[in-house]
Structure formats: C-alpha cells, structure tokens
Structure 1
C-alpha cells in the first residue's frame, strides 16, 4: 500500500472517530447525568413536572487530549394547564413538606391529562468538527391507572455539522487526494433532527423508549461518496425503580441501554441515594468496551428555584486513563413558575 493511501485511510478513520465524539462511535453526545434530565433522550418527558424545567450543562471529556470533545446544551420544557394532584393551580406546598418522603408517595396519584412543550439546543465540538442542533418537542400525558401515567411525544428540528478543513495543515500531500481535494474551507451539512418516544411513570418506577435521528442522512467527508458518516437512528431504553429506605432517604437504581445499528453500543447502570429533597450522591458504570467508565456524581437543591450537580468520570480501561485523562460534567438547573414550591422533581426522580 502506498504511504499516501495509508495516511488517507488513517486520516479518514480519525475524523470519523472524533466526529462521533462523546457517544461511543455514534451520533449523539453522551451525558453522565442523563438520568437527571431524561428529556435529552426522550421528548415524551416534555411537561412532566408542574413547572418549567431549565437545564444548562457543560461536559469536558478526555482532558489530556488536544481537541477532545466538549459538549454544551440548554434545555427547557414545561406543562400546559397541568395541576398538581393535591393542590390548586395557585397554592404552595406546606412549609417543611418533603416531596421525597414516604407520606408524599403514599398519597401520590397520576396527573390529569395535559400537554407539554419544550426546546433543546446542543453544541458538540471535537477538534476541527463543530456540530450543533436545535429542536422543539411536544408530549401528551394521560393517566392509565390510579398512580400511573403514560406519555408520548416527538421533537423536530435541525442539526448542522461544520468541519473547518482550512485549519488543517495538509503539507505536501497530493492535491488530487480525495481528502485534500475537498478541503477548501469548511464542510457544512444540514440534516433534519427528528425524535419520538414513550414514557411511563408512577410513584414506584419509570420506563421509557425513544428513537433519535429517525431520518438517516449522510455527511460527506471527502469529494468521493464512499467516504462519509451516516446519521443513523439511535435507540434508547431507560428504566428506574424507587426504594424508600426511610422517611427521609430513598435509593434510585436505574439503567439505560443504547443501540445503534448494527451493534449494541453500551449500557449504563446507575444508583442515586437521595436525602429528602435537599441533596444526593450517586454512581454509574458504563459498559462500552474501551470507552466504558465509572462515574461519581453529586447534587444539591437550593430552595425551590435552583439546583446544581457535578459528575466525574474515569475510564475503566487503564490505557484510556493514561492517555486520555478523565471527564468532568457540570449541570445547573432552574425551576420557573414553581408555584407549588417543589424543591426537586417529583415525577422523573
């Protein structure tokens, strides 16, 4: 094989790898704290709470690698015309009321039928590649039992991929090489962003299925059609169960399975220990071959309007820890229109 051809193949492989960024060789960025904001994976969660839930998140992955992936997102979603099960539309929860306490869950009933809407914007950077997406969502929530609600939703938007090839020093490579021949400036591609999902939740458990990137699309990386990157459907399954250890402490184990054709990409196993509606600690293990890892997480709720959480991730493979470093993720949340004084989520814990 000629040296140029070898370099060509390696370069294409590298671009494809960094383009897949934080999501284990697939299109969607990965988040340690998706369990705290399942909305990023499932549009059916739009409007699940009694307030507008706003989240800002920043993820800095593999700190020892230049141009390593960084992901920033903003999300906001809320209910239309929803009322809490035990209050009026303008009342507040009693002072000292613990939304995580056993008494609350004993009295819990399913929400009345209602609509939810939301919006999400994501920016994902990896080396010379800059990807952003914006989508709006809608969901409908309907009780199917005394304490159980089923929601279905979808989202639609646009995703843009920008590869700034003008910043790459090609040196003395053959100008007829397909990579070099396609490198005059920035490569840009707009693709539709469509997703749909179902979500069922109650006082004891939740489970959801969703598909993102419903419409496949190809982003050409060279001037030859055979070199490119496919936006393929991403399938997610999430489930969790709440165990009340005492009046003030609850344990929330959960799992997330992720599938992208043609293989199972990975599984996340999580546990979250929460004290009242004030603070929590948690851990996570991600099974994904060389990109697997362990995470430690913690968060605190400040009053009924602000919350903050942090996750620290370490690769399970020693070579990844040595050469790539670790990952940090910070998320800040705001609750707008929180007329019931809820300090923490009560339906998507």
Structure 2
C-alpha cells in the first residue's frame, strides 16, 4: 500500500472515530472526574469548605495523529459564611482540525437539611469558541474551502445531596446551547446528563475505601457508565481503578504531596482497539491546590 493510500486510510479512520465521539460524547471525558467534580456538576463546590484550584491535561489515543488533547483549569471558593460558592473554569480541546476554547462561570448554594445532610444547587453559564482549520485538509470540497470560527453560549445546572461520607448528584453541565452569529459547518451541541454517587468506608485508621459510579447520557444515545473504586492509604496516597462501558480500563494514583497540594495521574487502556498500529492509550495529569484565606483555618482532607 503506497503512502498516499495509507494516509487516506488513516484520515478516514480518524474522522470516523471523531464522528462517533461527537455523536455520543461531545464533552471531554476525564478519568479523574471524582477529584474534579465542578466540571461535571455545578453544585460540586458546595461540598468543599476550602478554595480550590485544579489543572488537568489529557492526551487521548496516544500515537494517533489528530487525536483529542484537552486542557482545563478551574477555581472555586466559598463566600465566607454565606453557604454560597462561586467558580470559574477554562477549557481548550483540539481534535484533528477542530478546536474549542470555553470559559464558564459557576455559582452554587447549599442548604442544611439536618445535622449531617446538605442539599446544594449549582448553575453554570459561559461561552465557547469553535474553530475549524479547514485549509489544512487540502480538499476541493467548497464547504471546507475556508477556515471557520464561531461562538456558542451554554447553560447548565446540578444538584448535590451529601454528607461527609456520601453524595449523590444529578447534573446537566451542558443543558442548553445557543448560537451566536452565523457560520457554516456548525457543531450541533446535544444536552448532556450525569448521575453520580460515592461513599467513603473507613476500613481502619490507615485505610479508606471509596467506590464511585458515574452514569452519563447524551440526547439521542443510551446510557454510558463508569465504575470506580479508590483506596486511600494513610491519608497520603489514593490508588484507584475504573471500568468504563466503552470497554476501557483505567488505573490512577493521587499523591498528597503537601497538606495543600495533590498530584494525580491516570492511564487509560482500551480492551480492544480498532486503530491498528497506534497505542490508543490515554494519559491524564491533574494538579490540585486547596487553600484557605484564613491562616487560622485548617484545610480539611478532601475525600470527594
């Protein structure tokens, strides 16, 4: 097979994979979502009494040219004793010739139901810029004769019911999207829905177990799920494993480098791959820093 046919085959396979991704899961998939919950549920910041800054970098399908690469940064903080939290998140993702840059603002409010149980509501709103580098395709199709750039706004919401040992959440971080201006080849953004839950078991003084489950549904498709279990050793190291319904297994490790700084890494591997000759594994690195504005207030360990 000559180089031209090989290149054409790779472009066809990659575009088909990206087409499936757009149809089934337009939002980025994160393996360490259980430690970066505001991205999935806008009510998540109400579970934390400390300020938090998180950065995540994800390299998906290593070895495949044009495969998804995602970078996010998020920050949230409580507003004194008001039980209100505010936050902001930034995201950039590139897939083949398509890229997206988004900024979103977040507000959440929690209500105390009894001595241990809380209910939180979160709202999210923001804007995204989509760009298409069509000229790099070197195609004669007039629909791709020029680069494209357009904007969308979106709104989302989430609910959280939680204690210091348990939580269950329902959310739609991309509930409704609106076009700004006119453009060709616009992406049709589908509504995304999530249900997630977790529980913390204390096995002994040095070992804690935290199982998690995440269900996600995109309009027009069925449910997908992620089953996860993490073990915390001496409040210093998290070791975890996940099984995703897309037949992907994940291993992760989180290290509490200091009382404020947490560093995590995850490795995804598909049980089978349709992209022969490529590794198709994914790497994800997360850095989280939690702090309090008051030097007299101790930053409590974060289990969720």
Q: Same fold (TM over 0.5)?
A: yes
Structure 2 residue corresponding to 1:147, chosen from 113, 116, 122: 116
CA distance in 2, matches of 1:263, 1:209: 18
- Which 5+ residue runs of structure 1 have no aligned equivalent? 1-9, 83-112, 174-179
Q: 211, 216, 219: which is aligned to 1:258?
A: 216
Aligned match of 1:281 in 224, 232, 239?
239
How far the C-alpha of 1:17 sits from its partner, in A, is: 4.6
Partner Cα distance (2:187, 2:19) in 1: 9
**Which of these residues, 246, 259, 269, is aligned with residue 304 of structure 1?**
259
Partner of 1:341: 298
Q: Higher strand proportion, which one?
A: 2
* Per-residue deviation, residues 57-94 of structure 1 (Å, max 9, x unmatched): 10000111001100000000011114xxxxxxxxxxxx
Shift, 1:268, TM fit: 0.2
- Partner Cα distance (1:12, 1:212) in 2: 31
Deviation for aligned residue 1:181 = 1.5
Q: Please give the alpha-carbon distance, in whole angstroms, between the structure 1 residues aligned to 2:255 and 2:276.
A: 28
Q: Deviations over 1:84-141 (max 9, x none)?
A: xxxxxxxxxxxxxxxxxxxxxxxxxxxxx61000000110111111111100000001
Distance 1:39-1:188 versus aligned 2 partners, 3 A rule: same
Q: Which residue in the other structure is 1:119 paired with?
A: 88
The answer to whether 1:197 aligns with 2:158 is yes
C-alpha contact 2:42 2:173 (8 A) present in aligned 1: no
User: SS at the partner of 1:182?
Assistant: helix
Using a 3 Å threshold, how does the CA distance of structure 1 residues 20 and 343 change in structure 2: closer, same or farther? farther
The equivalent residue for 2:149 is 188
Asked if structure 1 preserves the Cα contact closer than 8 Å seen for 2:155 and 2:177, the reply is no
Structure index of larger Rg: 1
> Which residue of the partner structure matches residue 207 of structure 1?
168
Q: 1:183 to 1:322 in 2, by over 3 A?
A: closer
8 Å Cα contact 1:304/1:341 also seen in 2: no
Cα gap change, 1:122 to 1:70, in 2 (>3 Å): same
Deviations 1:256-278 (A, max 9, x none): 00001112241000000002321
TM-score (normalizing by structure 1): 0.77
What SS class does the counterpart of residue 188 from structure 2 fall into?
Answer: strand
User: Aligned partners of 1:24, 1:311: CA distance in 2, in Å?
Assistant: 25
Which of the numbers 191, 194, 197 marks the counterpart of 1:236? 194
Q: Equivalents in 2 of 1:41, 1:343: separation in Å?
A: 22
Which consecutive residues of structure 2, in runs of 5 or more, have no partner in the other structure?
A: 1-9
Question: 1:321 & 1:57 partners in 2: Cα distance?
Answer: 28
The aligned counterpart of 1:317 is 272
For the residues of structure 1 that align with 2:283 and 2:252, how far apart are their CA atoms?
Answer: 10
The TM-score, its normalising length taken from structure 2, stands at: 0.88
- Judge conservation of contact 1:304–1:342 (CA < 8 Å) in 2: yes
Number of aligned residue pairs: give it: 293
| In 2: Cα distance, 1:233 partner to 1:16 partner | 22
Residues 16, 229 of structure 1: 8 Å contact kept: no
Question: 1:219 and 1:182 mapped to 2: Cα distance?
Answer: 20
Q: Tell me if structure 2 keeps the 8 A contact 1:48–1:116.
A: no
